[in-house]
Structure 1
């Protein structure tokens, strides 16, 4: 099962549409980790599990969400309420409380993934203003029976090899 994950699009519309159209046939779920700066009723957000970022003014977005997808428990948040620019510890504690396997967040605009104590932390980066690399990125997580593979893409749909990884799971 595949899950598309993006964050920090900051008002972009054409790019969200392009990414959605490119992958809609291959993914079962789409996640936006906040700072879309679009109304939750915007047609571009249809089909997304989305949370509220610090630049989102639509209060109908939840601050956090917990979803069971592909046999895994996901914790979705933007990250600003958990001080993610300083540490992942607060997210780690929260994920422990709710029994999350996969934690998706944004806010820092820095793409990356890390397996910590059996939990996969994923930041898809930003499709508008990346930090730490030149590519504007989003990610697709492929949930397999014995591994989680996270593949990062640039806006043109090319794989960003240096960010993409596979993690073995039990």
Structure 2
């Protein structure tokens, strides 16, 4: 519910929902809200949510990465530097982002610029086709080799037409 409210931009309602929950919010709930704060550039709330996350897990690499990205999007470079330095001080390595898709009972994992899948040539050809279609519609495509795009291309290649593609991301 927090994720849905956050995606819709109803951050205040998401906070009220969290406050009214009969259970204590966990990392996944606070992370959902933090991602929504980033999407809707609510830095003030993002900082409060970040504090909740590091209370639960002081060395949560994803929390530091998310707050760093929020600061970067806002052009707050001193704060970006602070978040990265803090990760370094805590000796925490940022977990690389990956995306997953299940195909015929097998989970396939992709990272950015991943060429390890046996279908890599077809996947990258599909990404080129998608890029071409977007350009014909005057749409700019900026993340063609991110793990999510690789999973979508894999899904398009391996799923029957008009089948939903479910992408799971570790961050």
TM-score (norm 2): 0.30
The one of the two structures with greater contact order (alpha-carbon pairs below 8 A, sep at least 6) is: 1
Structure number with greater Rg is 2
* Greater per-residue helix proportion: 2
* Greater per-residue strand proportion: 1
